[in-house]
Amino acid sequence: MHYKKDKSPKGFSLIKLALFLSMLLIVSGVAIYSFLDINPFDVLSDGFSGLYNRIFTTSAEQLKETVKDILEVDANEKISCAAASGDLVIAGISSVRIVDQEGMEKAYIPVSLKKPFVQSYGDGVIVADIEGRYFALINNGKIAWEKNIDEDIVNASISDTWVLLITKSKQSGYKRTIRAYSKDGQEISFRNVSNYYPFMAANYPGYNKSCFVISSIETSGLEANGLFEFLDLSMNQKASIKGAKEIFGKGFPLEKESLFIYSERSIMAVDSMYRTIWHHKTEGSKVTAANVVNKKFPVVALLDTNVLLRERRNETTVRIYNNNGTEKDSFVLMGKVTGISVKEKTAAVIAESEVFFINQDGSIMDQYTARSDIQGVYLSKDDTAYIVTSDLITRVKIKTDHKFLGIF
């Protein structure tokens, strides 16, 4: 009896070929995205020739230096900076400039300011004259509206809905005034304060859109205590936290509508009903800076006061916490941390003339050393920072490790 060898169906071979080609396309797409940062879907519209040009253009761009000096600054001029839509906003005494990552000027707005102050939220930028009476909202490189008021400005801030001011009150018996403006420049509410000194006002949409938070100083004789208030949109007090011989800084939204708050000697989190979720005292150390990474992980700089007192040098522990207040990780820096800036999953820890870029796990991903002490770091993206010293502004591309296999 004769037996014929079974022949593999052609359809099965075609399926294997199709699977192989599909896998090849997926791997190629991942490689293009991971190493060249080109969206594979753009290939469909650009074609092979377009892809060829983009690969070689991207490769050439990647050879550019990751550190670029973009603007020299007069060391005698006071400036204030903020990152907005990937660019850097620079407010000086005579102008507000917006420059891109290559240092190209995108907008120039003449102003006259004594002490320039600028803060951004999304595309909006608030410019104010501290100790002066002028403030303005800038959108897309142009003044949307501007105002001159009849009281000296102490502080200004911006959110997605509000512009807030603190001013020195001219009214007899009052020390300061808190003012809330809508984004179209209309004054909506205000609060006169008679027995303490507010110095910071903010609205945090990630925490509570219908709440203003105010940080103040109460003075009695030689003693100064902090006060952290929660006000509704009509400026009525809903809750407050008092500090014993400690001043509160800012708040930072956390997940689940909670707010991380720090003072000189403690850190805490409160919920949307203003109840304390967790609270830690910082024994033997002083909080010099704080922020929140990825809206989940508080990062706190703790200056060791015992080492400072005993050895006359600065030693700072940078500690990362989980959302529930438990410690996640920590590391020690030789120096005093003066600021922590955050963009998504990257935190920039400023320690004198150095900045350490860390991830949410507390690992140092990158480091930059300036020629002089760093005055500010402004993250436009989680992998791009503007570093400001007394005489120079530098753009730095950060080596991040956020993507798993370069993809996610």
The pTM of the full predicted model, rounded to 2 decimals, is 0.82
pLDDT of residue 5: 45
Our count of domains for the chain comes to 2
Residue 58 within a domain: yes
In a domain, 353, yes or no: yes
Asked if residue 345 belongs to a domain, the reply is: yes
Which of 38, 62, 86 represents a domain boundary (last residue)?
62
Which CATH number is 346's domain given? 2.130.10.10
**Structural contact between residues 91 and 107, judged by C-beta atoms closer than 8 angstroms:** no
> What is the predicted pLDDT for the residue at 196?
93
Structural domain includes residue 287: yes
Give the closest residue to 109 by CA, choosing from 145, 60, 163.
145
Q: Per residue of the chain (408 residues), what is the pLDDT tens digit?
A: 444 444 455 555 667 666 777 777 666 655 555 544 555 555 555 555 555 555 444 444 443 468 999 999 998 899 999 999 999 999 999 999 999 999 999 999 999 999 999 999 988 999 999 999 999 999 999 999 999 999 999 999 999 999 999 999 999 999 999 999 999 999 999 999 999 999 999 999 999 999 999 999 998 777 889 999 999 999 999 999 998 889 999 999 999 899 999 999 999 999 999 999 999 999 889 999 999 999 999 999 999 988 876 777 899 999 999 999 999 999 999 999 999 999 999 999 999 999 999 999 999 999 999 999 999 999 999 999 999 999 999 999 999 875 444 444
In a domain, 205, yes or no: no
Is residue 271 included in any domain, yes or no? Answer: no
Contact partners, residue 407, CB within 8 Å, separation at least 6: 30, 33, 34
Name the residue with tokens 């020195």: 168
Q: Is the dihedral of CA 85, 91, 97, 103 positive or negative?
A: negative
Q: What share of the chain is helix, strand, coil (3-state, %, to 5)?
A: 15, 50, 35
- Reference 199, options 250, 246, 154; nearest CA is 154
Q: How far apart are the first and last CA of the chain?
A: 61
Separation between Cα atoms, residue 387 and residue 389, nearest integer Å: 7
Long-range contacts of 351-357 (CB under 8 A, 24+ apart): 351/316, 355/385, 355/387, 356/318, 357/385, 357/398, 357/399, 357/400
The reply to whether 137 falls in a domain is no
Look up the domain containing 33 and give its range. Answer: 13-62
Evaluate whether 305 touches 284 at the Cβ level (below 8 Å).
yes
Structure confidence at residue 222 (pLDDT): 76
Q: Please tell me the predicted confidence (pLDDT) of residue 23.
A: 74
In a domain, 54, yes or no: yes
